[in-house]
Structure 1
């Protein structure tokens, strides 16, 4: 049902793969910016990096599911 809705909205599996790769880069960037610009310390920077980094597997898993749905169509 989710894959069908994403497909109807025009989302392609490649879009989700790109989002997964981008979130890996954003994870590193958010960690780096947090270490340089915040006085909260390394622990907080690590939490920012991990929080954003957890998006990547979700996007890639959705991309895999949508790829399967696209192949069936």
Structure 2
């Protein structure tokens, strides 16, 4: 159902695969940035990077589902 709605909205598998790769880059950027902040804020910055790191597999699998629909 969700895949059907995403396809009807105009999203294609390449869009979600690109978003997946972009979120890997965002995660790495946030992780490197976490090393530059002071010790009190480092925990939050690392958690933000780890949370962002959970997105790529989900986006990639949704992209695969969309590819089957195409």
**TM-score, L = length of structure 1:** 0.83
Partner residue in 2 for 1:57: 57
RMSD: 1.6
Partner residue in 2 for 1:16: 16
Q: Within 5 A, what are the aligned runs for 1:1-73?
A: 1-40=1-40, 43-70=43-70
Q: Displacement of 1:40 after TM fit? A: 2.6
Q: Which moved more, 1:13-22 or 1:27-36?
A: 27-36
Contact 1:35 / 1:41 at 8 angstroms: preserved in 2?
no
Contact 1:16 / 1:60 at 8 angstroms: preserved in 2?
yes
**TM-score, L = length of structure 2:** 0.86
Distance 2:38 2:24 in 1: 21
Q: Displacement of 1:36 after TM fit? A: 0.6
Contact 2:30 / 2:49 at 8 angstroms: preserved in 1?
yes
